[in-house]
Amino acid sequence: MSVSDLAQYVVTGLLVGGVYALMSIGLALIFGVMRVVNFAQGDFMMLGMYLTYFLAVVSGVDPLLGALLTIPPFFLVGVSVHRALLVRVTGGGDPQRLMDAQLILTLGLSLIITNGTTMLLTPMPRGIKTAYATQAFAVGPVLLNEARSYAFLMALVLAGVVYVFLTRTDLGKALRAAADDPEAAGYQGIDVRAMHGLAFGVGIALVAAAGGLLATYHPIEPTVAVNFIVLMFVAVVLGGLGSIPGAFAGGLLIGLVQSLTLLVLPFQLQNVGVFITFLLVLYLRPQGLFGQRLRAV
Amino acid sequence: MQPHAILLAVLAAAPMLLAPPAADAADDFKIALVAPLSGRWARQGQLKKMGAEMAIAEINAQGGIKALGGARIVLREADAGDSVEKAVSAAQRALSREKISAGIGAWLSSFTLGVTEVAERLEVPWFTLSYADSITERGFKYTFQTSPVSSVQAEQALDLVVDLAKRNQQPLRKAAIVGDNTAATVFFFKPLREKLLKAKGIEIVVDEIWTPPLADATAIVQKIRSTQPDIVFYGATNFPDSIQVLQKVKEFGLKVPIQGVGAWLVTPEYVKTVGRELLDNIMTVTAAHPLKGQEELVKRFTERTGEPFMTQDPLMTYAHVWIIKEAAEMAKSADPKAIRDAVAKLDLKSGPAASTLAPGRIKYDERGRRVGAAPIIVQWQNGEPFTVVPVEYATKKPIWHGAK
């Protein structure tokens, strides 16, 4: 194992992790604000991949731009799904029953989206053929895949925008207030239900954009979500439930661990490294890397 | 109250949805097709279905099964999904719900191993294109394996590439084995790893196996890059995994011959996703591919389905339906046991079933393996896959591109 090999593994891990990170912050936002575990998150990502694909094939839109264009429609989709469905199982009532109802709702939504897409678009895998999917920037002996590098940079920018939105704008602060203490936020005149809708919309838009970026190099099929949803959940829990920077770091860490695991373990055990890290973090720091202990109480 | 009313209505309607459609006449001859129609192998199931439907349309148009008074063949498809458990329960449902005369499936060897257990127990003859040796090593009476088994494929594929490389003055010294752990791939790699490569004096420099889905292919291709094998034996049965590996091969600029195992490597989607430049010269061993003289059959298929070319999955399933038809004519019965006995005695040397599969003969030995089944080697040339081996059926000559 040479130094350049090691560098290649680290770089690859970080680039893969960048897109995991973007996928995960949407999930973290939804959980952080609404306390909803959204099992359909991966399916919205899949839909984002398809929209990017059709934009590329039908209108010739470059998938990197296409990924950004998925944001407005999926924001609306998220808000609508919240208004039509999720609002019935969030905010008030017996928490245990609400939790059960949310799990069933989002799991059902996931099944409907996956199978509906299979029916409508057939299970045939599709892919966007881009030059940058199979080209790389060479930094010395280390190769940085172009598609992944662009996806990584855009993931960073989008995550930055979300962070600034949450910390610097009034709306973002209201959102965080609704997350921290819905009751007190209500007394301050913040419409908690609207904040939930906003969080769900933004969360769905982000994961759709992540799907668009993923589509620049990953084949698209109705069941693509299953490959990623578990990793998203691990990233979110690893980073600290509901913490946005935590989810981002969690995503990066997963990519890195996945890649570096291969230095010591056979390929078949690629995800074992991820789950060992996950267990270690939960054992040593149960609130997650960026989580606050209080929040767990 | 309203949701309750809807629930009641759904419950009341459920038996109607579950019951077999009433439109079929009682004397229809039913064939079950258990194949992945959802999940990551769904495309292959879809291709199988196309082949079955084409054969059924042809048979029914010619007056159905004559020995059964012109009985029409109907297809009962069941979704094998993406796991052995789902495949087994699909077979169980399909075979116990109504009288099925014969079955076909379930594409992936791992699924077939499970599904044939069900067929054996319920005594329904089962036809499969799956490769794994173990499918016909269990002493089953109702399983008929039409493809050459994996270990035979491995041996022949190795002979071919060794010969091709030698003729091009680039003898093979180092090999890489890369693939997933589904049954057909496992049985293909096993003899290579344990004896075949050693016997030819070829050293294994990379041996990487994964459980699908593959998270990322960089590490695999990185290993190939740093060890520089003269040939890669490649078994990534599902499309997303395979695409990731091939994209990386292109990205890292590797010029190494790739010898695949299975028909998954010759589906039309590959051209659209990775482009023909990358595919060209990649070879794969399959159990069936259009042969010299089958242009008419391929044309009927492409016109019917809109697919750009025909591959193993529709071809083999097409042949299977015809084999079942011939067996039914011989048995003069739709009873699965009678069909099974007829298949065991069958020796077809002409007709649509025999002419579809090399070497033009349909006969199964006492284990249920097709006599004379020889692997076919297909190579991508100019964005289309052609049969290159055996020479007598080849539509193109094989091209070797060694590491230059």
Q: Does A3-296 carry CATH code 1.10.3680?
A: no
Asked if A124 is an interface residue toward chain B (Cβ–Cβ < 8 A), one would say yes
> How do residues B12-23 score in pLDDT, each as one tens digit?
555 444 444 444
Instruction: Give yes or no for a cis peptide into B359 (omega within 30° of 0).
Output: yes
Q: In this complex, which of B45, B181, B251 lies closest to A268 when CB atoms are compared?
A: B181
Query: Can you tell me the distance from the alpha carbon of B384 to that of B394, in angstroms, rounded to the nearest whole number?
Result: 14
State the greatest distance between any 2 C-alpha atoms of chain A, in Å, as a whole number: 61
Kindly list the residues of chain B whose beta carbon comes within 8 Å of any beta carbon in chain A. Answer: 37-40, 42-43, 45-46, 82, 181, 208-211, 213, 215-216, 218-220, 222, 226, 239-240, 243-244, 247-248, 250-252, 269, 272-275, 278
Check B240 against A143: CB less than 8 A apart.
no
Where does residue B144 fall: left (phi above 0), alpha (psi -120 to 50 degrees), or beta otherwise?
A: beta
Please give the share of chain A, as a percent, with pLDDT higher than 90: 49
Helix then strand then coil, % of chain B, to nearest 5: 50, 20, 35
Same domain, B218 and B250: yes
> How do residues A38-61 score in pLDDT, each as one tens digit?
999 999 999 999 999 999 999 999
Same domain, B247 and B381: yes
Q: What is the pLDDT of residue A290?
A: 81
CB distance B220 to B247 below 8 Å: no
Size of interface A-B (CB pairs under 8 A): 109
Same domain, B140 and B174: no
- Chain A residue nearest residue B271, CA to CA: A129
**Neighbour-count burial for B245-261, b at 16+ CB within 10 Å, e otherwise:** bbbbbbbbebebbbbbb
Average pLDDT, integer, range B269-295 = 87
Question: Which residue do the tokens 């159905």 mark?
Answer: B64
Query: Can you tell me the distance from the alpha carbon of A98 to that of A87, in angstroms, rounded to the nearest whole number?
Result: 11
CA distance A97 to chain B (A): 18
Same domain, B125 and B241: no
Instruction: Give yes or no for a cis peptide into A174 (omega within 30° of 0).
Output: no
Least confident range of A135-139, B131-135, B283-287, B322-326? A135-139
Query: Can you tell me the distance from the alpha carbon of A256 to that of B251, in angstroms, rounded to the nearest whole number?
Result: 20
Q: In this complex, which of B226, B240, B274 lies closest to A218 when CB atoms are compared?
A: B240
CA distance B246 to chain A (A): 9
Q: For chain A, how many residues are written?
A: 297
Pairing of β A136-139 and β A142-145: antiparallel
Q: What is the pLDDT of residue A93?
A: 64
Residue B312 has pLDDT above 50, yes or no: yes
Residues in B closer than 8 angstroms to A125, CB to CB, are 43, 239-240, 243, 269, 273
Task: Name the β-bridge partners of B378.
Answer: B284, B387
> How do residues A142-151 score in pLDDT, each as one tens digit?
888 898 999 9
**Neighbour-count burial for A9-37, b at 16+ CB within 10 Å, e otherwise:** bbbbbbbbbbbbbbbbbbbbbbbbbbbbb
Structure tokens given for B56: 């059924």
The closest of A194, A206, A211, A204 to A163, measured between CA atoms, is: A206
Check B38 against A135: CB less than 8 A apart.
no
- Chain B residue nearest residue A136, CA to CA: B251
In a domain, B404, yes or no: no
Check B39 against A123: CB less than 8 A apart.
yes
Same domain, B143 and B157: no
Same domain, B32 and B132: yes
B23, burial (CB in 10 Å: exposed 0-12, middle 13-18, buried 19+): exposed
In a domain, B402, yes or no: no
Query: Can you tell me the distance from the alpha carbon of A177 to that of A196, in angstroms, rounded to the nearest whole number?
Result: 11
In a domain, B399, yes or no: no
Least confident range of A268-277, B119-128, B131-140, B170-179? A268-277
Write the CB contacts of B74 (distance below 8 Å, at least 6 apart in sequence): B24, B28, B29, B30, B31, B56
Instruction: Indicate the pLDDT class of residue B24, thresholds 50, 70 and 90.
Output: very low
Q: In this complex, which of B82, B209, B213 lies closest to A268 when CB atoms are compared?
A: B209
Alpha-carbon torsion angle A83, A85, A88, A89, nearest 10: -120
Q: What is the pLDDT of residue B5?
A: 54
Same domain, B41 and B142: yes
CB distance B252 to A143 below 8 Å: yes
Query: Can you tell me the distance from the alpha carbon of B151 to that of B188, in angstroms, rounded to the nearest whole number?
Result: 5
Alpha helix locations (H) across B31-83? 42-61
| HEC assignment per residue over A179-208 | HHCHHHHHHCCCCHHHHHHHHHHHHHHHHH
In a domain, B52, yes or no: yes
The CA–CA distances, whole Å, from B87 to A169, B77, B111, B334 equal 52, 12, 6, 24
Using DSSP, state whether B145 is helix, strand or coil. strand
The closest of B132, B402, B376, B384 to B260, measured between CA atoms, is: B376
Mutate to test the interface with B, among A88, A223, A226 (most CBs of B within 10 A): A223
CB distance B37 to B105 below 8 Å: no
Instruction: Give yes or no for a cis peptide into B3 (omega within 30° of 0).
Output: no
In a domain, B82, yes or no: yes
Angle between helices B42-61 and B312-331 (to 10 degrees): 40
Write the CB contacts of B294 (distance below 8 Å, at least 6 apart in sequence): B355, B356
Residues in A closer than 8 angstroms to B181, CB to CB, are 268
Domains of chain B: total: 2
Same domain, B236 and B383: yes
Angle between helices A41-59 and A95-121 (to 10 degrees): 30
In terms of residue numbers, what domain contains B160? 151-286+376-393
Mutate to test the interface with B, among A15, A231, A267, A270 (most CBs of B within 10 A): A267
> How do residues A193-230 score in pLDDT, each as one tens digit?
899 999 999 999 999 999 999 999 888 989 889 889 98
CATH number at residue B219: 3.40.50.2300
Alpha helix locations (H) across B252-335? 269-274, 276-279, 295-305, 312-331
For chain A, give every domain's residue range: 3-296
State the greatest distance between any 2 C-alpha atoms of chain B, in Å, as a whole number: 81
Q: What is the pLDDT of residue A291?
A: 73
Q: What is the pLDDT of residue B273?
A: 78
Structure tokens given for A201: 């919309």
Check B239 against A219: CB less than 8 A apart.
yes
> How do residues B164-210 score in pLDDT, each as one tens digit?
888 888 889 999 999 998 887 888 999 999 999 999 999 999 999 98
Question: For B112-188, where are the E strands, in sequence order?
Answer: 126-128, 143-145, 174-180
- When comparing pLDDT for A69 and A272, which is higher? A69
Query: Can you tell me the distance from the alpha carbon of B244 to that of A266, in angstroms, rounded to the nearest whole number?
Result: 18
Check B38 against A115: CB less than 8 A apart.
yes
Query: Can you tell me the distance from the alpha carbon of A207 to that of A22, in angstroms, rounded to the nearest whole number?
Result: 7
CB distance A3 to A218 below 8 Å: no
This prediction's pTM: 0.79
In a domain, B8, yes or no: yes
Asked if A12 is an interface residue toward chain B (Cβ–Cβ < 8 A), one would say yes
Residues in A closer than 8 angstroms to B225, CB to CB, are none
Instruction: Give yes or no for a cis peptide into B213 (omega within 30° of 0).
Output: yes
Element housing A144 (H / E): strand A142-145
Average pLDDT, integer, range B101-114 = 94
Query: Can you tell me the distance from the alpha carbon of B17 to that of B21, in angstroms, rounded to the nearest whole number?
Result: 8
Give φ, ψ of B403 to 5 degrees.
-65, 120
Q: In this complex, which of B42, B252, B272 lies closest to A127 when CB atoms are compared?
A: B272
Residues in B closer than 8 angstroms to A259, CB to CB, are 216, 218-219
Q: For chain B, how many residues are written?
A: 404
CB distance B403 to B228 below 8 Å: yes
Asked if A116 is an interface residue toward chain B (Cβ–Cβ < 8 A), one would say no
Q: What is the pLDDT of residue A262?
A: 82
Residues in B closer than 8 angstroms to A145, CB to CB, are 218, 248, 251
Average pLDDT, integer, range A173-199 = 89
Same domain, B85 and B213: no
In a domain, B401, yes or no: no
Instruction: Indicate the pLDDT class of residue B40, thresholds 50, 70 and 90.
Output: confident
Tell me which DSSP letter residue B364 carries: B
- Chain A residue nearest residue B242, CA to CA: A219
Residues in B closer than 8 angstroms to A136, CB to CB, are 251-252
Query: Can you tell me the distance from the alpha carbon of B106 to that of B185, in angstroms, rounded to the nearest whole number?
Result: 16
- When comparing pLDDT for B215 and A225, which is higher? A225
